[in-house]
Amino acid sequence: MFRGFYTAASGMISQQRRQDMLTNNLANANTPGYKADQASLRAFPQMLLSRLGETNIAGNSVPTKKQVGTLATAVYMQEMTPKFRQGDIQETGNRLDVALLQGAVPTDEETGAQGSLFFTVRNEAGELRMTRNGNFSLDANGNLVTSNGDFVLDTNGNPIQVDSTDFTMDTNGFIPQANAQVNVALVENPNLLEKEGNGLFRLENEEALVAANGNPEVSYQLKQGFVERSNVDVEQTMVEMLNAYRTFEANQKVLQAYDRTMEKSSNEIGRLG
């Protein structure tokens, strides 16, 4: 079997997965607070191939192993990680929309990753989640909720009840009508977050959350009547999609060439024998 057959096939698979990721980014270009994914491609470790056989020694069959060589099977998409760069701020005039403008945040000393700020919400199962999507609404009880019904939490970890859209919020997130302040949390290493869909992020270790409210190392502003747009660069994404397609096509042609070579070998060489 030709070694390049595996190399070309793995290249096609990795580019197909990258294309799927880019397509999802492009589909969410208008989703408030969406954070675009980026792919990490890695080379497979080289594998040492050996051929097993038998040899006859003094009338006895003895297993043998002969080294054939190494095989590198190209690349694979190791992981997708979100880019937490802030998106553009768009004015909507809707009092239920809130944009989180991130200012100064500390950098993780161990990883060098810059921290990121999030709204904290709680789902129906009572689980804590983070989001940058400030496109809020009201539930039947007048609670401030996300577009998929999760409660927006205050600094005490409770839902915020505003009763109607006729409320005001200052730049620190304080709502006089509810006597509550919107909680903003700092994730010092956002690479630990896992995407969960609907603009939500999950953190396995909730102790890694740091309060941003009143934190002297953090600065931010909340703007009522605005939303943060996605940070998807549409033009760049389309260029990367074309690049992924061309790379997939190149690997496909290599695969077809190997297939024709194998077919010719099995048919023509067989007839010569």
Give how many domains the chain has, as a whole number.
Answer: 2
96 and 213 assigned to the same domain: yes
* pLDDT greater than 80 at residue 256: yes
Q: What is the pLDDT of residues 122-169, one digit of tens each?
A: 998 999 999 999 999 999 999 999 988 999 999 999 999 998 888 999
**Other beta carbons less than 10 A from residue 86's beta carbon:** 17
96 and 51 assigned to the same domain: no
198 and 107 assigned to the same domain: yes
Mean pLDDT value of segment 207-214: 84
Mean pLDDT estimate for the chain: 87
Mean pLDDT value of segment 10-15: 88
> What is the DSSP code (8-state) at residue 1?
-
Lowest-pLDDT choice from 32-41, 89-98, 118-127, 250-259: 250-259
76 and 14 assigned to the same domain: yes
Percent pLDDT > 90 in the chain is 55
Percent pLDDT > 70 in the chain is 90
pTM surpassing 0.95?
Answer: no
What would the DSSP string read from start to end of 230-269? P---HHHHHHHHHHHHHHHHHHHHHHHHHHHHHHHIIIII
Mean pLDDT value of segment 169-181: 95
Mean pLDDT value of segment 46-60: 70
Best CA proximity match to 2, nearest among 222, 269, 259, 267? 259
76 and 98 assigned to the same domain: no
Question: What pLDDT, on a 0 to 100 scale, did the predictor assign at position 1?
Answer: 53
Question: What pLDDT, on a 0 to 100 scale, did the predictor assign at position 19?
Answer: 94
104 and 218 assigned to the same domain: yes
Range of the domain at 188: 89-228
223 and 93 assigned to the same domain: yes
Q: What is the pLDDT of residues 69-98, one digit of tens each?
A: 766 667 777 788 899 999 999 999 999 999
106 and 224 assigned to the same domain: yes
* pLDDT greater than 80 at residue 206: no
23 and 57 assigned to the same domain: yes
**Residue 225 DSSP SS3:** coil
Report d(CA 213, CA 253) in Å as an integer. Answer: 56
198 and 237 assigned to the same domain: no
46: pLDDT confidence band, cut at 50, 70 and 90?
low
17: pLDDT confidence band, cut at 50, 70 and 90?
very high
135 and 198 assigned to the same domain: yes
Question: 52 phi and psi, to 5 degrees?
Answer: -90, 145
Question: What pLDDT, on a 0 to 100 scale, did the predictor assign at position 30?
Answer: 93
* pLDDT greater than 90 at residue 3: no
160 and 214 assigned to the same domain: yes
Beta partners for residue 156, in sequence order: none
Question: Distance from first CA to last CA of the chain, Å, rounded?
Answer: 20
